[in-house]
Chain A
Amino acid sequence: MITIRRAMSSSKELSVIHPSPSILGSPLRFILNLKENKNMISNFIRRDVRIRYRNSFLGYIWTVLQPLLLAGVYYFVFTIIAGQSEELYPIWVLIGVITWQFFARCLNGSITSISRNSGMIKLIYFPRELFAITTVGANLVITAMSLLVVIPFIFYYDLPFGLHFAWLVAGLLISAVLALGIGLMLSPLNAVHGDIAHLFQFITKAGFFLSPVMWTLRMIPEGRGGLADYVFLNPMVVPLEMMRCGVDGSALGISGNWIAYSVGFALASMLLGVIVFMRAESKAVKYV
């Protein structure tokens, strides 16, 4: 007879279904849940990717068209109106927009992961962190597809091909881990106080201007009295610059300390996010 495996250990002992994990046990539980639910995760990601553009005429093309149009606006404002003379500016801003959109969607999507899915949460139990993980996964797939748009630019500007493409992977991974970490940390709180999602709608809009999305570190004028260093406190600066170097092949030119800071920031928020989420979600779902 066929039987169902659902969120249960296969052992035949009496066991607690959804036990409260300890602080140290949370990361372990998190990883086990990922492994045990691979099929569900990939199905959810496939659904999210498919439905995002399924009911539109241009479909997938929107994935590349949207950042392209937005980059066109900034090109118009900065290059044509303000006289910005960097030759590679159009591709820099395009990469910046794609990366920031990815980060903002992952962050806002995982912050609202509990409140958005309240219907499903009340009907069936499976590890709730999967909602945030699949949101990030779907955005990763969509962003990877939209990055294909830079290929014609690479040929047009005659940019080199080579190992520097690995920066793209590193940049996306750091932003994904950062967004997922902060998102997991805050989604139980957002289930209790919906204000968090509103606040982060604003933060991701402000961050768009405060991070090197439509400007780059190279554009900061000399002699700002070291003020430019404070820019690096923003953990998204390093991944954004990595993405640019990944396309134009230039050297990253950021000190190792700041890279370590950014990677460490992402990993620390991930660890903290997992612990907070695993311990708070069961209380938070009583508010949705």
Chain B
Amino acid sequence: MTLVIDVDGVSVTFPLSRPGLQTIKRKFRNLVSTEKQVAPQRTVLEDISIQINQGEVLGIIGRNGCGKSTLLRTISGIYRPSEGTVKSRGQLFLLAGIRIGFTGNLTGRENAYLYGSILGHSKQRMDELMPSIIEFSELHEYIDMPLRTYSSGMTARLGFSVATAVQPEILLIDEVLAVGDQEFKERSKERILEMVDNAGTVVIVSHSFGLLKNICDRLILLENGLIKASGDPAHVIEVYHGRADPEPPSDSEE
């Protein structure tokens, strides 16, 4: 088993107030006072350690505001941990917003190339991918029209198709994105499941417990920035509903 993502003692805090006169005052006071004061802050993640191995599908659940998205963003490099380190091995991709950089006055094709380059694809790679992107998004004759003439469903289809055109080694998913009409929703869900199958490693944040039970090897329940339970998906979901004890069943490690 190779370790692919190593989250080691990670805390992420967000400042509550902007630094100002209070900050200077506090600094001076801390010089002389033995009681050190710290700036008011909100701790979103506190001392989180998670090891994820090659080939593992890990699900993260929890109430709104428990730190799920912040954890994914920290793993993908968006936030730097206030304490601890996040290390990873291999190419990593966060599937979150699927219309990054989209601009109404550019055509669908131009937007696709721009988004592709944000995702790290070269121009040649995008040339190769474009037919399959057009195919999957079903935008055929619309692809060279300005994005502002698209419906929101069409925009989402384009974004989803670009974002998922390439199979990453490590896939981070913040909510399975169900976009477009019913038919496209089915296909996009299918494609995500396909990506989950093919990706070496997956971390997925979701509220659809049915889906998580099916695809995850392990679940983590976050509560107020702490890991409340971790392990067997069915058990962790029971803990979430308050129907089981957070302690893992006797057969697990420790």
Contacts and interface: CB of A to CB of B under 8 A. Distances in A.
Given A4-B168, A124-B118, A14 B93 contact: no
Interface string A255-288: 0000000000000000000000000001101110
A121 B18 CA distance: 19
A282 B100 contact: no
Nearest to B6: A14
Nearest to A282: B80
Nearest to B87: A14
A225 B232 CA distance: 84
B19 interface: yes
A79 B121 CA distance: 54
A198 to B, nearest CB: 15
A192 interface: yes
Interface stretch (B30-38, B109-117, B208-216, B246-254): B109-117
Given A43-B113, A47-B103, A123 B92 contact: no
A13 B89 contact: yes
Interface string A147-179: 000000000000000000000000000000000
Interface size class of A (residues with CB under 8 A): 35 or more
B101 A47 contact: yes
A3 B97 contact: no
B53 interface: no
Nearest to A8: B91
Contacts of A120: 97, 100-101
B140 interface: no
A40 B117 contact: yes
Contact of A7 (B120, B167, B168): B120
A40 B118 contact: yes
B123 interface: yes
Interface string A18-48: 1010000000000000000001100110010
B130 interface: no
Contacts of A17: 75-77, 86, 88, 92
A16 B19 contact: no
A55 B92 contact: no
Interface residues of B, number: 47
A125 B15 CA distance: 20
A20 to B, nearest CB: 6
Contacts of B193: none
A190 to B, nearest CB: 12
A219 interface: no
B167 A286 contact: no
Interface string B118-136: 1111110100010000000
A286 B88 contact: no
B10 to A, nearest CB: 11
B167 to A, nearest CB: 6
A122 interface: yes
B222 to A, nearest CB: 19
Interface in B148-189: 166-169
Interface string A38-71: 0110011001001100110000000000000000
B100 A14 contact: no
Interface in A177-212: 192-193
Given A47-B101, A124-B76, A282-B80, 16 more contacts: A2-B166, A3-B91, A4-B91, A4-B92, A4-B93, A4-B168, A5-B91, A15-B87, A17-B75, A17-B77, A17-B88, A18-B78, A47-B106, A125-B77, A192-B19, A286-B79
19 contacts: A3-B167, A4-B167, A4-B169, A6-B120, A14-B6, A17-B75, A17-B76, A18-B78, A39-B121, A43-B113, A43-B117, A47-B101, A47-B103, A51-B106, A119-B97, A122-B73, A125-B78, A286-B15, A286-B79
Closest 8 A/B residue pairs (Cβ): A18-B77, A123-B97, A17-B77, A125-B77, A282-B80, A6-B120, A14-B87, A43-B117
Interface of A: 1-8, 12-18, 20, 39-40, 43-44, 47, 50-51, 54-55, 119-126, 192-193, 282-283, 285-287
